[in-house]
A = this chain, B = another copy of it.
Amino acid sequence: MRIGILGYGNLGRGIEAGIRQNDDMELAAVFTRRDPARVKLATEGVPVYHVDKAKEMKDEIDVLVICGGSATDLPVQTPEYVKYFNVIDSFDTHANIPQHFANVDAAAKESGHVALISCGWDPGMFSLNRLYANAILPEGNDYTFWGKGVSQGHSDAIRRVEGVKDGKQYTIPVESALEAVRSGSNPDLTTRQKHTRECFVVPEEGADLARIEETIKNMPNYFSDYDTTVHFITEEELKKNHSGIPHGGFVFRTGVTGLNKEHKHVIEYSLKLDSNPEFTSSVLLAYARAINRLYAEGQRGCKTVFDIAPAYLSPLSGEELRAHLL
């Protein structure tokens, strides 16, 4: 199957690398809003086009992976490009998923394509685990923890503080909270009890460090509800020790069964990822395989990970799956 990439940032580069790990896929083209002449791919012989040319390639691509941001790119791009392609995105603004779904579904049905939105790990694999676990244990509690990992939004917030040259923020789940959930005790946990936030900040020369720290720790929405630690470091240290994009997290469901609800059960799913965008890309590619198959079967419209039978994700046949993975 022929994959197209729209947007060549961290996620687009992750898709490019991931295609090399899947024998049934090839990279057909990359589309960019930048000057295509200035975009250098890691893959030889693959064309780079300006996005305006994308629709001309509609017969050369089986699935277009849209690698834009959720704030302003995807709400426009996904309904637009599903007019010409089967598409997949990682739209992750949870509150706006119903609206995005409706927009993409209408456009996909009109053009006769398949779209998959909100794919990745959260939303994505975490959502799947929430659904399976809720269906299995109807009486219980859900818990989601994120990290240890880099939050792009919080890192951006740090960098907007006066006197800050650069910075990176890690979201860290509180170990005692994880243990309390694992024990099956169904704790009620406040925001502060679930996660801490650790900031590594490169100050401008002569900046007021105490004031930077105070501003970060009291920032509403981002930091004020958390126990936050601020470390001041040099630009070299930031580059050397904090240039990765790790992430991960935990999804739990704890519940009860039995005539007297006397038996406790704990379902735990966790991810520990060296590269958030590359793992997200790997999930997107498995689902790109699925939507290519659904399209071939005659299905149309917008899907989510909830709508897709797991077997569609694998290159193996039903016989092979039953013999080796069941």
Contact = CB atoms under 8 A, between A and B. Distances in A.
Identical copies in the complex: 2
A313 B118 contact: no
B134 A325 contact: yes
Interface in A116-146: 118, 123, 125, 127-132, 134-139
A305 interface: yes
A325 B17 CA distance: 30
B271 A265 contact: yes
A291 to B, nearest CB: 13
A128 B137 contact: no
B21 A138 contact: yes
Contacts of A130: 325
A186 interface: no
Contacts of A258: 17, 275, 278
A281 B129 CA distance: 18
A304 B128 CA distance: 17
Given A135-B314, A257-B279, A314-B134, A182 B272 contact: yes
A134 B326 CA distance: 12
Given A272-B266, A273-B265, A137 B17 contact: no
A127 B326 contact: yes
Nearest to A245: B263
Interface stretch (A48-56, A75-83, A93-101, A228-236): A93-101
A321 B131 contact: yes
Nearest to A266: B272
B318 A307 contact: yes
Interface centre among A21, A184, A325 (most CB of B within 10 A): A325
A94 B128 contact: no
Contacts of A315: 135
Interface string A184-208: 1000000000000000000000000
Nearest to A259: B17
Interface residues of A, number: 70
A282 interface: yes
B265 A268 contact: no
Contact of A42 (B139, B259, B271, B272): B259
A309 interface: yes
Given A134-B325, A136-B283, A322-B98, A306 B309 contact: yes
A136 to B, nearest CB: 5
Interface in A257-303: 257-259, 262-275, 278-279, 281-283, 286, 289
17 contacts: A17-B259, A18-B257, A94-B326, A97-B322, A128-B310, A129-B269, A131-B313, A132-B286, A135-B289, A184-B272, A265-B282, A267-B270, A268-B268, A268-B270, A268-B272, A306-B318, A306-B321
Closest 5 CB pairs of A and B: A263-B274, A135-B313, A257-B278, A263-B275, A135-B286
Given A135-B310, A136-B282, A264-B274, 6 more contacts: A132-B286, A257-B278, A258-B275, A265-B275, A266-B270, A268-B270
